[in-house]
């Protein structure tokens, strides 16, 4: 990665690094329609089962190729072996000589199928993400009931890593417990060891991925464009693979833990597929596999594109929506979630999905703002620092994030660590700088100048914390908003919002949720303007025969 694309970043130990964490080629190849089902998709996995309920233990999900495809799970038992296959499938066609019954439901209810090769159950479902992960057995019939004997349950528990003497997991607890166990295996988080060194275990099944081209390289990781094969169909999809060397295990681990929280999923957050560790010894690597976005990061995109007002409004609105989702206590569906602070929002950590949508990426130093935890809990859990230093109990060696985008209170090391809202307001300040970058490249500002980073003419290419402290903290400096920007009504409204987001006082800043509401209001303002303009035009014209319109002054225009 060259110097122009690199931005100096400071970690919890006060080290400065050049990170390309979202390179220009992380971009959005055409993702499948949001109307298609998102399904678990693994050739063969060992399930985690309780009475009447199994979970697939599949680490991979994928959008179906076509809207009519459904999520399918096939459960096979032969002697003592139980395997689950999950995939997308056209329900009007047989799969392994079986037709999928009763699939017009969001629950994957297993149906026994006659077979000479052991015991087979199959289910199909639609309209709920990864609905083929939770497999429901409504009746204990045929082969499944035989699996409930004490001896076979003991053998399965041993095979799944369970311990005798432990209390059984209730069905409603099963998924959370299984997710936690899967993440523990993925992260090598045994109770006896939480060493930040190289992990020793890995998932049983690695994805069939072929690395294609390295598209970014930084201090912590490399980013590759890669091909993910779908073995049954022979097709593949393009994905992005972020590869960490063995010594950067803790960086990979932190980002993996953020990504594996399913409540993070949002249209404006980079889609995560899975995390893996590969290789042995000094060649061991840790992978994060995500969606690939070919348009690149926002910084590079703005360098080569001028935005229309509509593009700016939509693109900036998607960014704001993503930040508001991170900070929210609830998902869009109303389910409770743990808020997340990104802590490194900048234009290179925003990917352009299409001409009017962005996604947030790079959660390497993000933290979960669990309201049930105390300051000491944050310190002891290591959430405040990838290196497990007591960041929330005593001042860290240096601020966390990228110096150019640091809020004044971060530069001053005067953050109210007992108020978790303070983490969100740091993000709001950084988001305001990114919104300014987007506004500076909008055609409605008049003369659109060459793209510049915030404070571009005032600081060197990679400013240090001390430089930004002098400008932002002591000089109260902010990027310039020329008067020409304020001529356009919508741009003036946006600039007012930006200035309220980068206020020196964190408590005086707007929240991300409030900014999202303002963007909704801006969209409504534009709709009203269009409607009013159309009404004015109609009022000034009168219809005449023959498809002609007669203006109020009597002149005629042919339509």
What is the per-residue pLDDT across 134-149, written as a single tens digit (0 to 9) for each? 999 876 444 444 444 4
Q: What is the pLDDT of residues 231-275, one digit of tens each?
A: 666 678 899 999 999 989 988 998 999 998 888 989 999 999 899
The residue whose two tokens read 């971060």 is: 410
310 and 265 in a common domain: no
Structure confidence at residue 538 (pLDDT): 52
CA distance 68 to 235: 18
Q: How many structural domains compose the chain?
A: 3
What's the pLDDT band for 441 if we cut at 50, 70, 90? very high
Alpha-carbon distance of 329 to 216, in angstroms, equals 34
Residues 502 and 472: their CA atoms lie apart, in Å, by: 10
**Domain with 135 in it: what CATH number?**
2.10.60.10
CATH number, domain with residue 421 = 1.10.510.10
Residues 318 and 342 in one domain: yes
99 plus 239 within the same structural domain: no
pLDDT at 527: 64
pLDDT (tens digit, 9 = 90+) per residue, 186-201?
333 333 333 334 544 4
- Domain-located, residue 228: yes
**What is the predicted pLDDT for the residue at 439?**
97
313 with 446, same domain: the answer is yes
- Where is pLDDT greater, at 44 or 313? 313
CA 441 to CA 214: how far, in whole Å? 29
Q: Is 259 annotated as a binding residue?
A: no
Q: Indicate whether 241 and 330 sit together in one domain.
A: no
pTM over 0.85, yes/no: no
Smallest Cα–Cα separation from 127: which of 109, 111, 103? Answer: 103
Assess whether 375 and 505 both reside in one domain.
yes
For position 157, what pLDDT does the model report?
40
Tokens of 218: 């930084």
Please tell me whether residue 153 adopts helix, strand or coil conformation.
helix
Was 221 annotated as part of a binding site? yes
Q: Does residue 114 sit in the same domain as residue 43?
A: yes
**Residue 175 annotated as lining a ligand binding site:** no
Q: Where are the alpha helices (DSSP H) in 282-368?
A: 298-304, 309-327
**215 annotated binding-site participant:** yes
Give me the pLDDT at residue 24, please.
34
Give residue 200's pLDDT: 44
What does DSSP assign to residue 470?
A: I
Convert 304-329 to b/e letters by CB count within 10 Å (16 or more is b). Answer: eeebebebbbbbbbbbbbbbbbbbbe
CA 514 vs CA 27, 217, 422, 477, 500: distances in Å: 28, 36, 16, 24, 11
Residue 133 CB partners (closer than 8 Å, separation 6+): 40, 55, 56, 58, 73, 86, 108, 175
Structure tokens at 15: 């080290």
- When comparing pLDDT for 61 and 234, which is higher? 61
Give yes or no for a contact between 70 and 108, defined as CB atoms under 8 angstroms apart.
Answer: no
CA distance 362 to 240: 12
Please indicate, yes or no, if residue 171 is contained in any of the structural domains: no
Report the alpha-carbon distance of residue 147 to residue 51 in Å, rounded: 10
* Catalytic residue status for 419: no
The DSSP bridge partners found for residue 65 are none
Among residues 11, 133, 188, 344, which one is catalytic? 344
Q: End-to-end alpha-carbon separation of the chain, Å? A: 54
- pLDDT value, residue 363: 92
Distance CA 243, CA 222 (A): 5
| Beta bridge mates, 235 | 230
The CATH number of whichever domain residue 267 belongs to comes to 3.30.200.20
The annotation status of 52 as a binding-site residue, yes or no, is: no
Q: Are residues 464 and 401 in the same domain?
A: yes
Residue 421 in any domain: the answer is yes
Tell me the CA distances in angstroms from 99 to 91, 122, 137, 475, one per residue in order: 7, 9, 18, 70
Last residue of a domain, which of 149, 166, 187?
149
Residue 269 marked as a ligand binder: no
Answer with the one of 291, 319, 334 that is the final residue of a domain.
291
Strands 119-125 and 111-113: antiparallel
Long-range contacts of 114-122 (CB under 8 A, 24+ apart): 117/78, 118/76, 118/77, 118/78, 118/79, 118/143, 119/76, 119/77, 119/78, 119/143, 119/144, 120/74, 120/75, 120/76, 120/77, 121/74, 121/75, 122/72, 122/73, 122/74, 122/75, 122/95, 122/98
- Strands 48-50 and 541-544 come out as unpaired
Pairing, β 42-45 against β 340-341: unpaired
pLDDT at 68: 85
Identify whether the C-beta of residue 405 lies closer than 8 Å to the C-beta of residue 455: no
The answer to whether residue 345 is domain-embedded is yes
* 318 and 286 within one domain: no
Residue ending a domain, among 512, 527, 553, is: 512
User: Can you point out the beta strands (E) in 185-234?
Assistant: 209-217, 222-230
Q: Enter the DSSP assignment of 114.
A: -
Residue 508 main-chain phi, psi, to 5 deg: -85, -10
Give phi and psi for 156, each to the nearest 5.
Answer: -65, -40
**Higher pLDDT residue, 111 or 157?**
111
**327 and 269 co-located in one domain:** no
- The chain-wide mean pLDDT, for the chain, equals 76
On whether both 79 and 105 belong to a single domain, the answer is yes
In a domain, 373, yes or no: yes
Residue 242 is assigned to a ligand binding site: yes
Answer whether residue 4 is part of any domain: no
Mean pLDDT of the region 470-490: 94
Q: Is residue 523 part of a domain?
A: no
What's the mean pLDDT in 443-472?
Answer: 91
Tell me: do 329 and 460 sit in the same domain.
Answer: yes
Most confident of 134-143, 182-191, 224-233, 391-400: 224-233
Q: Range of 99's domain?
A: 38-149
Let me know if residue 9 belongs to a domain.
Answer: no
Identify the band that residue 383 occupies on the pLDDT scale cut at 50, 70 and 90.
very low
Asked whether residue 480 is marked as a ligand-binding residue, the answer is no
Q: How far is residue 44's CA from residue 56's CA, in Å, rounded to a whole number?
A: 9
Instruction: Render pLDDT for 333-359 as a digit per residue (tens, 0 to 9).
Output: 788 899 999 999 999 999 999 888 999
How many residues comprise the chain? Answer: 559
């Amino acid at each position: 990665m060259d110097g122009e694309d690199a931005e100096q970043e400071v970690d919890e130990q006060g080290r400065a690094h050049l990170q390309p964490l979202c390179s220009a080629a992380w971009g959005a190849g055409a993702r499948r329609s949001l109307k298609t089902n998102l399904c678990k998709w693994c050739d063969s996995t060992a399930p985690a089962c309780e009475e009447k309920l199994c979970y697939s233990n599949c680490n991979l999900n994928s959008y179906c190729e076509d809207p009519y495809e459904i999520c399918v799970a096939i459960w096979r038992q032969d002697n003592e072996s139980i395997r689950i296959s999950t995939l997308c499938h056209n329900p009007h066609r047989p799969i392994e000589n079986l037709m999928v019954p009763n699939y017009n439901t969001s629950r994957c209810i297993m149906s026994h199928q006659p077979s000479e090769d052991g015991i087979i159950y199959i289910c199909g479902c639609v309209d709920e993400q990864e609905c083929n992960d939770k497999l429901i057995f409504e009746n204990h019939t045929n082969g499944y009931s035989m699996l409930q004997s004490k001896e076979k349950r003991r053998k399965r528990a041993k095979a799944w890593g369970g311990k005798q003497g432990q209390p059984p997991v209730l069905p409603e607890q099963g998924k959370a417990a299984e997710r936690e166990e899967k993440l523990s295996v993925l992260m090598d988080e045994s109770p006896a060891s939480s060493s930040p060194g190289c992990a020793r275990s890995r998932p049983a099944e690695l994805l069939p991925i072929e690395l294609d081209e390295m598209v970014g390289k930084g201090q912590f990781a490399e980013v590759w464009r890669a091909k993910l094969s779908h073995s049954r169909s022979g097709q593949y999809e393009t994905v992005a693979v972020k590869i960490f060397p063995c010594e950067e295990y803790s960086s990979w681990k932190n980002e993996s833990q953020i990504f594996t929280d399913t409540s993070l999923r949002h249209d404006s957050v980079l889609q995560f597929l899975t995390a893996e560790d590969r290789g042995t010894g000094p060649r061991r690597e840790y992978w994060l596999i995500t969606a690939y976005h070919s348009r690149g990061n926002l910084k590079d995109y703005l360098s080569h594109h001028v935005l229309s007002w509509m593009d700016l409004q939509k693109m900036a609105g998607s960014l704001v929506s993503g930040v508001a989702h991170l900070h929210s206590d609830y998902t869009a569906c109303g389910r409770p979630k743990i808020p997340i602070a990104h802590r490194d929002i900048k234009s290179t950590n925003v990917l352009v999905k299409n001409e009017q949508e962005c996604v947030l990426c790079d959660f390497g130093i993000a933290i979960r703002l669990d309201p049930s935890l105390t300051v000491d809990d944050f310190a002891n859990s290591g959430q405040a620092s990838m290196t497990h230093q007591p960041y929330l109990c005593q001042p860290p060696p240096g601020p966390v994030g990228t110096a150019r985008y640091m809020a004044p209170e971060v530069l001053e090391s005067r953050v109210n660590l007992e108020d978790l809202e303070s983490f969100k307001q740091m993000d709001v300040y950084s988001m305001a700088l990114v919104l300014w970058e987007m506004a500076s490249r909008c055609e409605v500002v008049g003369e659109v100048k060459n793209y510049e980073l915030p404070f571009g003419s005032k600081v060197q290419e990679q400013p240090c914390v001390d430089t930004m402290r002098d400008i932002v903290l002591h000089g109260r400096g902010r990027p310039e908003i020329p008067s020409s920007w304020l001529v356009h009504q919508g741009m003036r409204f946006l600039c007012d919002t930006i200035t309220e987001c980068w206020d020196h006082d964190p408590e005086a800043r707007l929240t991300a949720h409030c900014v999202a509401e303002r963007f909704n209001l801006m969209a409504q303002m534009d709709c009203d303007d269009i409607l009013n303009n159309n009404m004015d035009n109609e009022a000034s014209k009168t219809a005449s025969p023959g498809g002609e319109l007669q203006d109020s002054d009597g002149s005629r225009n042919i339509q």
